């Protein structure tokens, strides 16, 4: 019984991690259909921002929840103005440019900080589910994932900005005719997506090995989750994260992590074959 | 206006390639030829991507899967059979067959273009994970241990057809690779000039219209994808011959991305572009590693971003436009198109 | 090492000073240099391992040159950064062999990189030194391996764990050759010591989430965890383990922990108590070790990453080669090989390192250490450990033409 509860908790943790990892990418892809290959490096920048400021004395949570998103959001702004802005509509060129950007970011962080950096330990310690120990930090991650989803939903649903964003997503020309400037909205969305990714990077710091090349381990999973989720940002990423999170955890627990990864990839393949537009291409089509 | 014939440019390119093939050994030593061999193998790989993407419109992110399959097929087959003639052809046919299978899965399922990229990417990642786990004696195909992450070292090179006791020297491997590059290029140009090629391009331009004209786009795309897979497999075989070695990194995400970069830098929609792009980027990477001052990733990243912003169509189209404009300037003024007055 | 710019300035000043001082160095500067090749990953994921090795070989080359060179000739280090890419290993290996025509190559980090370049150096007859700890089994007269192998370290670690903590063992390993073979050795030594292996779990190199595994481990209730996890992604295990409050509940012994500067990157609350076994620790207090560490810090700064066995073995490997050259009085490959095969040794930072003719590996010291407050507390020393795992499958005295890596069949 306690074991089942433990596994259930692990599944929630895995889903939360996937949500955090992919929401930023989902916002950018869902809005602008841009494939940002530097997504992993934005995560890495968020992690480094958190680590460097915490080691300099700032409170971990301020670093994670404020400094990381603001810093990576600013980087996103520079990137959007400097590179992405010229490439709208050119999906392949954006892929190439963001791949170059990812190499550049890895290179510059390695040049400044070297190949390793002192990390930060998880703040909360453990707690027990029956006779089993698990991490209280996982509770924090689950809470953060829910908060992020709720926040995006609130923004999209309840704020004027959210309304404008949704309108531009559905029909940019009409929105432009009504006085909205789509390029400004794209810029804002890219910055938002970058900030969310920076936040995710910061939240992951206490449970990861932080290195300039850490982004590469997350990018395939984030992409598969976003593409599998489909056009709707929240529901899509949420459902896809749930599906893949469950498969990965359950298979890993029953067999080995190798099979867990392969199972995740194969299930992604099958799902894309069955639902070519992602989950929300068929179900929950009109959700956010 | 009469459409320009393709023959002059084809002959010019073939002549240039033959010149390089026989001229390079005269100006450079053994190292230069060995270095050129891997550039040529990558050029063949880039050609496969350039063909299926630039002309077939298929955005495959996983040519490295067929590249790796070709390399591994050659290695396993030659270690088991001794003579390299059959392994050479297997290295082309097996990846082509696998590509046909995958193509059937994708195109007959009407997957949209973006998702073709995702599926091919996923396939190459799966292959990487699987082959990576094949360390240990139990994982072997006949005499050939797969070696897992450590790869398969000391792979016997190609030998004179039918005679396993005469393995080819590095210089001879260079000639073989260069000849194959010329052959593949000529073959692709011929395919594109044929009816099949024209239908393929028509499908790329507008799939629905081609379908309404009576052509089955799924079959054509499948064939294009299979041909591309076979050429990538050939590139894998050449690569394994160059290094005498193959390891799972050929299935990696980096390798896939690099192939796309070759094509983009060279020029999408051309065949000579990917060749030049591959050579240029590979050379750049070699030079970057020879210096220790700046981080390698930093330099490559800056170069790529600059390229996309400044020369987005790729080198060859820019050069071609430049040449055409130069030629147009030479014509007498009266024959240049008159400017239309703007209201 | 942080700012590359600082490094450029330092190297530039050093180069200028050397150039000015050249007339005073003596006959070494007039003779033709001996080229030594170096093939290391200095960027990318493996760059963390490559950088300290590069520092060590630069130090060794400078020391030899300052003492008058080798056979009266200065040594010129030709280094290529393979950028964690196997293809570049093959490419630069050919370049070192055919274009630069070096006398010897010190390089390769992962076993994959070594296996890619070993045939190249065999074919073009270039002497090759592989200076990294690995899974054992290479049997090739053209190569010398100076790093530790499982018989020298794992064979000390596992008995210690069984004796100190108990007989029930749970093994975690990276899912590639090194991890799989090390896991087999761990299994063998556990069973030899009367223990039982509850489970062996393999993890692909890009796995970052270990929560399912941590739950599995708790379900199994082992006495000790043996870890052969590799790389900075796997460092997440130790963090997640501590985050789950498991730190201290089940002790951990590892064959790889500490090699990518983990003690500096994770907290003592996450690393204290982990036991490892290597051929060298920066904390060793022998005169040679202290001098070595001081020299590295003086030349490259005090904030270089942890100086591990990788750096020490590179340094020792280079000096072993120079010893071979001096004995043969020649840089010719076969002459140096024969000289080295007489069992030459070098007193290095880790102690005495002796070449073994039959295996072309080294007999060297092994140490056991426990992590304590971001440093290693060396708790045991084992002098002159022979490479008995490779010796069981390889005999270059009776079969000098052998040329492969044996996968040692471990009968547990």
Q: Write the residue in C215, C231, C242 that is nearest to A6 by C-beta.
A: C215
Residue C23 pLDDT class (50, 70, 90 cuts): very low
DSSP state of B291: -
Mean pLDDT of B291-314: 83
Structural element, H or E, at residue B23: helix B7-27
CB-CB neighbors (< 8 A) of C208 in chain A: 208-209, 214, 217-218
**In which band, very low, low, confident or very high, does the pLDDT at B101 lie, cut at 50, 70 and 90?**
very high
Contact (Cβ atoms closer than 8 angstroms) between residue C88 and residue C108 = no
- Average pLDDT value for chain B: 87
pLDDT band at B342; cut points 50, 70, 90: very low
Chain A touching partners, 3 or more CB pairs below 8 A: B, C
Give contacts of A 90-129 with C, CB under 8 A.
Answer: 107, 110-122, 124-127
Contact C265 A117 (CB under 8 A): yes
A266 touches chain B (CB under 8 A): yes
C239 touches chain A (CB under 8 A): yes
Shortest CA gap A122–chain B (Å): 30
State whether residue B59 sits within 8 Å of chain A by CB: yes
Spatial separation of the C-alpha atoms in residues A116 and C237, rounded to whole Å: 17
Choose the weakest-confidence range: A95-99, B30-34, B65-69, C279-283. A95-99
How distant is the Cα of B132 from the closest Cα of chain C, in angstroms? Answer: 6
In this prediction, residue C27 carries a pLDDT of: 44
Residues 236-275 of A with CB under 8 A from C: 249, 252-253, 256-258, 260-261
Burial-class residue A133 by CB neighbours within 10 Å (0-12, 13-18, 19+): buried
The pLDDT score that the predictor gives to residue B337 is: 55
Nearest CA in chain A to C51: A115
Chain B positions touching C202 (Cβ under 8 A) are 133
The residue behind tokens 């790729």 is: B314
Provide CATH code, domain C31-148+282-366+387-403.
Answer: 3.40.50.2300
CA proximity to C311, closest of C156, C142, C155, C133: C133
Q: What is the DSSP letter of B165?
A: T
Name the residue ranges covered by the structural domains of chain C: 31-148+282-366+387-403, 151-278
Ramachandran quadrant class, B162 (left: phi over 0; alpha: psi -120 to 50; beta: rest): left
Residue B1 confidence (pLDDT) above 50: no
Which residues from chain B sit within 8 angstroms of residue A276, using beta carbons?
109-112, 115
Residues of chain A positioned with their CB less than 8 A from the CB of B297: 103-104, 106-107, 110
- Reported as a single tens digit per residue, the pLDDT across A194-247 is 999 999 999 999 988 888 988 888 887 888 888 778 777 788 888 888 888 888
pLDDT of residue B340: 55
**Hey, which residues 76-95 in chain A have their CB within 8 Å of chain B?**
83, 86-87, 90-93, 95
- Across the interface, do C45 and A253 touch by the CB < 8 Å criterion? no
Position A286 pLDDT exceeds 70: no
What is the reported pLDDT for C231? Answer: 84
Distance between A179 CA and the closest CA of chain B, angstroms: 29
pLDDT (mean) for B24-45: 92
pLDDT of residue B5: 64
pLDDT of residue C411: 67
Q: Which helix (H) or strand (E) holds B238?
A: helix B217-243
Q: Identify which of A114, A131, A252 has the shortest CB distance to residue C1.
A: A114
Termini Cα distance of chain B: 28
Other beta carbons within 10 angstroms of residue C349's beta carbon come to 28
pLDDT of residue A101: 93
- Which residue in chain C has the smallest CA separation from B136? C407
What would the pLDDT profile of A191-205 be if each residue is shown by its tens digit? 999 999 999 999 999
Q: What distance in Å separates residue A281's CA from the closest CA in chain C?
A: 29
Predicted confidence at residue C24, as pLDDT, reads 41
Nearest CA distance, A94 vs chain C (angstrom) = 23
Tell me the percentage of chain A whose pLDDT exceeds 70.
Answer: 98
- Locate tokens 């983009």: which residue? B264
Task: Say if B104 is an interface residue toward chain A (CB within 8 Å).
Answer: no
Q: Which of C92, C116, C204 sits opposite B153 (nearest CB)?
A: C116
Q: How far apart are CA A44 and CA B213, in angstroms?
A: 51
Q: Taking residues B119-141, what's their average pLDDT?
A: 83
Which residues, including other chains, have CB under 8 Å from residue A222's CB and lie 6 or more apart?
A: A18, A21, A22, A25, A39, A40
Q: Please answer yes or no on whether A214 and C232 come within 8 Å at the CB atom.
A: yes
In terms of CA atoms, which chain B residue is nearest residue A29?
Answer: B114
Are C3 and A111 within 8 A, CB to CB?
A: yes
Cα-flanking dihedrals φ and ψ of residue B222, to 5°? Answer: -60, -45
Which chain A residues touch C219 with a CB distance below 8 Å? 3, 132
Check CB contact of B135 with chain A, cutoff 8 Å: no
Residues in B closer than 8 angstroms to A220, CB to CB, are: 121-122, 125, 253
- What is the structure's pLDDT at A130? 82
Query: What is d(CA C336, CA C128) in angstroms, rounded to the nearest whole number?
Result: 11
Residues in a beta bridge with C172 = C201, C227
**Measured CA distances, A249 to A9, A16, B38, C202, C230 (Å):** 10, 12, 42, 15, 21
- Residue-number span of the structural domain to which A165 is assigned: 16-212
pLDDT tens digits, residue range B257-302?
889 889 988 988 899 999 999 999 999 988 888 887 788 788 888 8
Chains in contact with C, counting 3 or more C-beta pairs less than 8 Å apart as contact: A, B
Q: Is the pLDDT of residue C266 over 90?
A: no
Q: What string of DSSP letters covers B50-69?
A: IIIIIIT----S-HHHHHHH
Residue range C170-186, pLDDT digits in tens:
999 998 888 888 999 99
Residue C7 sits at the chain A interface (C-beta within 8 Å): no
Most confident of A175-184, B8-17, B152-161, C191-200: C191-200
Q: Which two tokens stand for residue A275?
A: 């639902």
Could you tell me the sign of the dihedral formed by the alpha carbons of C22, C23, C26, C32, in that order?
Answer: positive
- Report, as an integer, the average pLDDT of A76-90: 89
pLDDT at position A121 = 85
Whole-structure pTM over 0.90, yes or no? no
The answer to whether A182 and A32 have CB atoms below 8 angstroms apart is: no
Task: Find the CB nearest A262 among B114, B126, B301.
Answer: B126
Chain C residues whose C-beta is within 8 A of a chain B C-beta are 4, 8, 42-44, 79-83, 85-88, 90-92, 94-95, 98-99, 110-112, 115-116, 118-120, 123, 175-178, 180-181, 202, 204, 403-405, 407, 409
Question: Is A246 within a domain?
Answer: no
Mean pLDDT of B75-90: 91
- B299 contacts in A (CB within 8 Å)? 107
The yes-or-no answer to whether C31-148+282-366+387-403 and C151-278 have a common fold is yes
CA distance B149 to chain C (A): 5
Report the alpha-carbon distance of residue C373 to residue C272 in Å, rounded. Answer: 6
Nearest-CB residue to A262 (from B119, B129, B298): B129
With 70 as the cut, is the pLDDT of residue C277 above it? yes
The complex scores an ipTM of: 0.84
Interchain contact A146–B (C-beta under 8 A): no
Question: Span C342-347, mean pLDDT?
Answer: 94
Chain C interface mutation, best of A246, A256, A258, A263, highest count of C Cβ atoms under 10 Å:
A256
Is A208 in the C-facing interface, judged by CB distances under 8 Å?
A: yes
pLDDT digits (tens, 9 = 90+) for C139-166: 999 999 999 999 999 999 999 999 999 9
Which residues of B are less than 8 Å from C83 in CB distance?
285, 288-289, 296-297
The residue extents of the domains of chain B are 36-252
Tell me what pLDDT residue C5 has: 58
Which one of 3.40.50.20, 3.30.450.20, 3.40.50.2300, 3.30.1330.40 gives the CATH number of domain C151-278?
A: 3.40.50.2300
Identify the CA nearest to C62 among candidates C51, C74, C49, C50. Answer: C74
Q: Which two tokens stand for residue B297?
A: 């990733």
Q: For residue range B208-231, what is the model confidence (pLDDT) as tens digits?
A: 999 999 999 999 999 999 999 999
| d(C-alpha A242, C-alpha A240), whole Å | 5
C284 CA to chain B: closest CA distance, Å?
31
Q: Provide the pLDDT confidence category of residue B3 given band limits of 50, 70 and 90.
A: low
Distance from CA of A21 to the nearest CA of B (A): 18
Cross-chain CB nearest to A209 (options C213, C214, C234) = C234
Alpha carbons C102 and C34: distance in angstroms, whole number: 7
Q: Which residue of A has its CA nearest to C266?
A: A119
Q: Give me the DSSP letters along A76-123.
A: HHHHHHHTGGGGTT-HHHHHHHHHHHHHHHHHHHHHHH-S-------S
CB pairs under 8 A between A and B: 114
- The pLDDT of residue B339 is 55
Contact C207 A217 (CB under 8 A): yes
pLDDT at A140: 92
Which of A127, A252, A258, A18 lies closest to C216, judged by CA? A252
Mean pLDDT of chain C: 89
């Amino acid at each position: 019984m306690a074991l089942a509860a433990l596994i259930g908790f692990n599944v929630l943790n895995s889903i939360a991690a996937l949500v955090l990892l992919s929401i930023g990418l989902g916002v950018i892809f869902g809005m602008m259909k841009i494939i940002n290959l530097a997504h992993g490096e934005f995560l890495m920048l968020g992690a480094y921002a958190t680590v460097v400021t915490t080691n300099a004395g700032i409170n971990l949570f301020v670093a994670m929840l404020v400094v990381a998103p603001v810093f990576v959001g600013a980087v996103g702004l520079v990137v959007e103005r400097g590179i992405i802005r010229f490439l709208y509509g050119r999906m392949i060129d954006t892929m190439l440019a963001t791949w170059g950007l990812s190499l550049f970011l890895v290179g510059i962080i390695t040049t400044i900080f070297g190949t390793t950096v002192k990390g930060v330990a998880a703040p909360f310690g453990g707690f027990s589910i029956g006779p089993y120990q698990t991490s209280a930090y996982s509770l924090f991650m689950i809470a953060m994932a829910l908060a992020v989803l709720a926040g995006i939903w609130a923004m999209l649903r309840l704020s004027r900005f959210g309304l404008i964003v949704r309108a531009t997503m559905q029909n940019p020309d009409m929105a432009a005719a009504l006085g909205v400037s789509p390029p400004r909205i794209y810029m804002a969305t890219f910055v938002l997506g970058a900030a969310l990714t920076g936040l995710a990077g910061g939240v992951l710091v206490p449970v990861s090995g932080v290195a300039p090349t850490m982004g590469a381990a997350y990018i395939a999973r984030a992409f598969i989750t976003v593409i599998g989720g489909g056009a709707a940002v929240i529901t899509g990423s949420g459902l896809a994260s749930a599906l893949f999170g469950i498969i990965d955890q359950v298979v890993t627990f029953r067999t080995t992590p190798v099979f867990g990864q392969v199972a995740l990839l194969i299930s992604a393949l099958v799902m894309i074959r069955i639902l070519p537009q992602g989950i929300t291409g068929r179900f929950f089509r009109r959700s956010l | 206006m009469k459409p320009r014939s393709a023959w002059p440019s084809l002959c010019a390119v073939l002549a240039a390639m033959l010149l390089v093939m026989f001229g390079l050994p005269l100006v450079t030593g053994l190292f230069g030829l060995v270095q050129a061999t891997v550039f040529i193998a990558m050029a063949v790989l880039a050609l496969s991507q350039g063909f299926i993407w630039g002309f077939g419109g298929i955005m495959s992110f996983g040519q490295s899967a067929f590249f790796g399959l070709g390399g591994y097929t050659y290695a396993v087959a030659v270690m088991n059979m001794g003579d390299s003639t059959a392994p050479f052809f297997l290295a082309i046919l097996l990846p082509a067959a696998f590509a046909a299978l995958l193509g059937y899965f994708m195109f007959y399922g009407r997957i949209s273009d973006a998702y073709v990229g995702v599926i091919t990417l996923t396939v190459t990642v799966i292959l990487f994970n699987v082959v990576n786990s094949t360390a240990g004696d139990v994982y072997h195909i006949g005499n050939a241990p797969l070696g897992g992450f450590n790869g398969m070292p000391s792979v016997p090179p190609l030998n004179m057809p039918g005679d396993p006791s005469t393995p080819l020297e590095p210089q001879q491997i260079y000639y073989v690779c260069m000849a194959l590059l010329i052959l593949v290029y000529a073959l692709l140009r011929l395919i594109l000039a044929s009816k099949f090629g024209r239908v393929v391009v028509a499908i790329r331009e507008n799939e629905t219209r081609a379908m309404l004209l009576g052509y089955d786009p799924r079959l054509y795309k499948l064939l294009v994808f299979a041909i591309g897979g076979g050429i990538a497999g050939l590139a894998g075989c050449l690569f394994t011959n160059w290094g005498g070695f193959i390891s799972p990194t050929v299935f990696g995400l980096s390798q896939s991305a690099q192939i796309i970069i070759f094509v983009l830098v060279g020029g999408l929609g051309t065949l000579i572009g990917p060749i030049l792009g591959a050579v240029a980027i590979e050379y750049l990477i070699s030079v970057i590693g020879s210096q220790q001052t700046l981080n390698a990733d930093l330099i490559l990243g800056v170069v790529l971003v600059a390229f996309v912003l400044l020369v987005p169509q790729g080198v060859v189209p820019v050069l071609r436009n430049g040449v055409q404009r130069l030629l147009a300037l030479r014509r007498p003024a009266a024959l240049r198109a008159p400017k239309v007055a703007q209201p | 090492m942080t700012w590359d710019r600082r490094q450029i300035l330092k190297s530039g000043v050093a180069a200028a000073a050397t150039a000015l001082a050249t007339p005073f160095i003596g006959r070494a500067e007039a003779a033709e240099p001996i080229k030594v090749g170096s093939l290391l990953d200095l960027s990318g994921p493996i760059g963390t391992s490559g950088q300290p090795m590069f520092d060590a070989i630069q130090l060794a080359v400078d020391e030899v040159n300052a003492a008058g060179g080798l056979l009266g000739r200065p040594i010129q280090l030709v280094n290529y950064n393979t950028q964690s890419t196997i293809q570049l290993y093959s490419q630069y290996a050919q370049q070192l062999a055919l274009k630069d025509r070096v006398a010897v190559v010190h390089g390769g980090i992962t076993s994959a990189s070594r296996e890619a370049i070993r045939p190249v150096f065999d074919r073009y007859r270039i002497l090759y030194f592989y200076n990294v700890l690995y899974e054992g089994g290479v049997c090739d007269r053209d190569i010398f391996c100076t790093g530790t192998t499982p018989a020298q370290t794992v064979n000390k670690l596992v008995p210690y764990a069984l004796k100190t903590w108990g007989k029930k063992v749970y093994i975690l390993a990276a899912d590639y050759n090194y991890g799989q073979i090390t896991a087999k050795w761990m299994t063998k030594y556990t069973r030899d010591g009367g223990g039982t292996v509850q489970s062996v779990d393999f993890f692909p190199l890009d796995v970052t989430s270990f929560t399912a595994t941590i739950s599995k481990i708790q379900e199994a209730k082992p006495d000790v965890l043996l870890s052969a996890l590799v790389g900075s992604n796997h460092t997440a295990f130790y963090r997640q383990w501590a985050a789950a409050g498991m730190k201290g509940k089940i002790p951990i012994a590892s064959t790889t922990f500490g090699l990518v500067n983990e003690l500096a990157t994770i907290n003592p609350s996450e690393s204290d108590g982990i036991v490892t076994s290597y051929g060298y620790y920066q904390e060793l207090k022998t005169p040679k070790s202290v001098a070595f560490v001081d020299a590295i810090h003086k030349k490259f700064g005090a904030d270089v990453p942890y100086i591990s066995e990788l750096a020490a073995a590179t340094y020792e490997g280079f000096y072993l080669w120079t010893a071979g050259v001096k004995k043969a009085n020649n840089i010719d490959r076969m002459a140096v090989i024969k000289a080295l095969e007489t069992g030459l040794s070098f007193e290095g930072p880790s102690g005495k390192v002796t070449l073994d003719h039959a295996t072309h590996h080294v007999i060297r010291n092994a140490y056991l250490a426990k992590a304590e407050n971001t440093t290693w507390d060396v708790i045991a020393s084992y002098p002159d450990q022979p490479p008995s795992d490779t010796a069981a499958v390889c005999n270059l005295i009776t079969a000098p033409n052998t040329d492969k890596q044996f996968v040692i069949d471990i009968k547990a």
